[in-house]
Structure 1
Amino acid sequence: MDARTGAKAWSRLLTGSFPAFVLLQGSLYAAYGTESPFLPSFLGERGLSASEIGVVLAAGTLIRLAAGPVAGHLADRYDATRAVLGCAAFAAGVISFAYLLGYGFWPLLAASVLHASAIAALAPLADALTLTAAEQEGTFSYGWVRGAGSAAFVLGTLASGLLVARAGIASIIVSSGVLFLVMALATSRVPAASPREPQASLGLDGVRELLAMAPFRRMLIVAALVIGSHALNDGFAVILWRGAGIGPSTISLLWSESVASEVFVFVLAGPWLLSRASTAQAAMLAAGVSVLRWSVLASTASVPVLAVIQLSHGLTFALLHLANMRLIVRTVPPHVAATAQTLYGTLGLGVASAVLTGLGGLLYGRLGAGAFWVMAALCALALPLTVGLGRKAGKSGATPVPPT
């Protein structure tokens, strides 16, 4: 590529919707990164006991699992993905400030439930719009935008620590609320999905249509097994490492290393790999590397070994997520695209992570590091299922596409 061609490519990239999508996903994940690490502490300072904090957080999770598919259905039913996303982001920003008015269990529980309802479909609907624009414009990759979101999450987490130190823990509520409002503004700047003809297969019929698609069903199961297995790592790896005598600064570096690898795969390695491998091959690689990753964590807490294996996070999570996004784009009919995204977020990710987090606590309590052998076994179970991800859609109503 000569200089003139490169300059034209950059011009098309920067004058298209790419900057708006970076702002959209960046503000979303920065809001998550700002709020999520310190929210339990905020609830504690507002008078909640440890058990009450658990109930409030669990209630939010349950509401998100229910509200996400509802928002996806509304987006598909009225062909209004951008409008539903914008309204939800605005509501999330406004409702965030309700936390500041709450003291005690019931007011904070109400704030948590309302906030969870608003944020439930933000990531799936943002992904749906991003994927559509990336396919239509052809000037950027979905992974570039999602990678920017992961980087923004890290920056938000770092910024929240500084804010709490200087302005108190309530600052995370203000900053996350503002970021959700920025997301609502960014939503108005991204292109809406192309208008389509009304379809009858919506609501429960749309869910049945999606679940009748063998590749989509397999994708949900593979995601539940492989991405769901990360729940044990998220909840108990730090506990395991601290018990092995690894210091906080080293743990922070190990954790940052995994996030850096996630950004690298989203932005560079993932799109490159998916241009050369099928969806099934990418999913098989992610599942296989996950088996290796959890086997290593079950076997050793050696820092040099952990430093190497943490680099695999980009393959075990980001690559599989990119492959799943490509499968949705290529096999799911446009009239149920938003529903597909929210089902993926709810069943493939949310329910699986919630179940395996609870199960992981029981397993870790009994087996310690050996609990990671169970996660490795789950990923091994996913390996044969990845083969079916390359098949054409059947009776789903989707337009057949070449195997991916």
Structure 2
Amino acid sequence: MLTPERRTTTFYFTYFMGPGAAVMFLPIWLSEKGISPEQIGIINALPVFAILALNLIVGRIADRAKDWRQAIVIGALIGGIVPIGLFWVNEFWGILLFWTLASVPTGVTGPVLDAATMRLTRRNGSDFGAIRAWGTVGYMLFNGLTGYLVAWYGSAVFVPLFVGLTLLRALAALQLPPFRAPAEQPTLAAVAPAPASGGLDRLRPILQPWFLLPLIGFCFIYAAHYIFNSFAALVWKAQGIGEEIIGPLIALGSASEALMMFAWRRFGGRISARQLMLLAAVAGLLRWAAMAIEPSVPVLFALQMSHGVTFALGYLGCVHFIANWTSEDIAAETQSLFTVGQQLMSVITVIGFGVLIPFYGAQSFFASAALALVGGAFVWLSIRMKPPKDDLPR
């Protein structure tokens, strides 16, 4: 039986397939088109800035719609149709235009999808973590499979593959269920305040320091992971680690994330959302500090297994924290605000980390450890302000 949860899981499974393929081969494909490294940086950066500008707007529109499903489906359809234009562009400006237009619709609806799915699982008593984990599985699948497809069929396979995956995601969006509760069925967003009338009053629940601090804190924790994704392969290669080892090392982190999300329901309700975020910060401090001292490959494999704690636990703590303390009329907007914070912090820190790398190499990861320390301090301050007795994930 295709329950709402199974239909949503199917969509999550397809949601990150295209990005999984792009992370693996987009820079190489662009280089083969004669795009310079500086231009490749612009092609990767412009969608991020566009998403930053539009996230809150889309979140607000989605909250005001009859159901969050509408925004998600529209984003997936646009994100599926626009990439077809990549078949006919071969120079910088054309690729920049179509890649940006292809990336933004799904980028801005990601927070809406998370907020909507969280509300659905809260109402039905199902497992958000297990549903979200299938997104990571889809991402991992095409991280690995794209390399084999390119080896078998050449680089010309990349655009048909990417377009096919985005169209598959668009088709999967059409079977998504309604996410909002029927009018006669109350949701279980316990302890959430009653919806306010509008304007700042509407957002008053999320403007309190004890609420903002842990979300700001996780933005620091998240930025450390973004730094890792951007520079780990470069740092490891400089340490003399071969590509045949780097690939499995990176994949192991994603596998750890997926496993933690699948296992979430077994223990997730026993510790508060903010305590989970604090645990992620402490584990991150240890992980990045250990990585900065250039450990051996076996130790790196062990550190990569901690990704399920440093990222997955913190992420799940955040989305549960938001759901615990917000009402449905601001759920997607709040999740979008949180995503904007993550992206802003990531852009700033990646630029700074790029300056450190030439001088300090792997020791630059001490900066990532510092980010985790600051993030954990923010979460700890929030707990001191408002004890987490009503903060348990549901």
Q: TM-score, normalised by structure 2?
A: 0.89
1:249 alignment counterpart:
244
What is the rounded CA distance, in whole Å, between the counterparts of 1:216 and 1:169 in structure 2? 47
- The reply to whether residue 386 of structure 1 matches residue 379 of structure 2 is yes
Q: 1:81 to 1:375 in 2, by over 3 A?
A: same
Q: 1:253 to 1:114 in 2, by over 3 A?
A: closer
- The reply to whether residue 201 of structure 1 matches residue 194 of structure 2 is no
Q: Which amino acid aligns with 1:32?
A: P
Alpha-carbon shift at residue 171 of structure 1 (Å): 2.8
Q: 1:283 to 1:100 in 2, by over 3 A?
A: same
- The reply to whether residue 68 of structure 1 matches residue 55 of structure 2 is yes
Q: 1:112 to 1:209 in 2, by over 3 A?
A: farther
1:18 alignment counterpart:
5
% identical aligned pairs: 27
CA deviation map 1:41-95 (0-9, x unaligned):
2223333222222222211221121122221121012243111110110000111
- The reply to whether residue 323 of structure 1 matches residue 340 of structure 2 is no
2:116 alignment counterpart:
129
Q: Which amino acid aligns with 2:165?
A: L
Q: Write the mapping of 1:2-401 to structure 2, written as runs, cut at 5 A.
A: 15-138=2-125, 140-192=126-178, 193-194=180-181, 200-201=197-198, 208-209=203-204, 211-268=206-263, 270-347=264-341, 349-389=342-382
1:7 alignment counterpart:
none
What is the rounded CA distance, in whole Å, between the counterparts of 1:57 and 1:271 in structure 2? 35
Alpha-carbon shift at residue 36 of structure 1 (Å): 2.8
The answer (yes or no) to whether the contact 1:392–1:402 under 8 Å persists in 2 is: no
Q: TM-score, normalised by structure 1?
A: 0.87
Q: 1:228 to 1:283 in 2, by over 3 A?
A: same
Q: Which amino acid aligns with 2:361?
A: G
Alpha-carbon shift at residue 176 of structure 1 (Å): 2.8
Moved more, 165-174 or 30-39: 165-174
Q: What is the count of residue pairs matched by the alignment?
A: 381
What is the rounded CA distance, in whole Å, between the counterparts of 1:336 and 1:48 in structure 2? 42
Moved more, 333-342 or 162-171: 162-171
Give me the CA root mean square deviation.
2.5
Q: 1:70 to 1:173 in 2, by over 3 A?
A: farther
What is the rounded CA distance, in whole Å, between the counterparts of 2:105 and 2:391 in structure 1? 36
Q: Which amino acid aligns with 2:141?
A: L
What is the rounded CA distance, in whole Å, between the counterparts of 1:62 and 1:71 in structure 2? 14
Q: Which amino acid aligns with 1:124?
A: P
Alpha-carbon shift at residue 373 of structure 1 (Å): 1.2
The answer (yes or no) to whether the contact 2:321–2:391 under 8 Å persists in 1 is: no
The answer (yes or no) to whether the contact 2:71–2:109 under 8 Å persists in 1 is: no
Alpha-carbon shift at residue 15 of structure 1 (Å): 4.4
Q: 1:169 to 1:118 in 2, by over 3 A?
A: farther
1:6 alignment counterpart:
none
Alpha-carbon shift at residue 134 of structure 1 (Å): 0.9
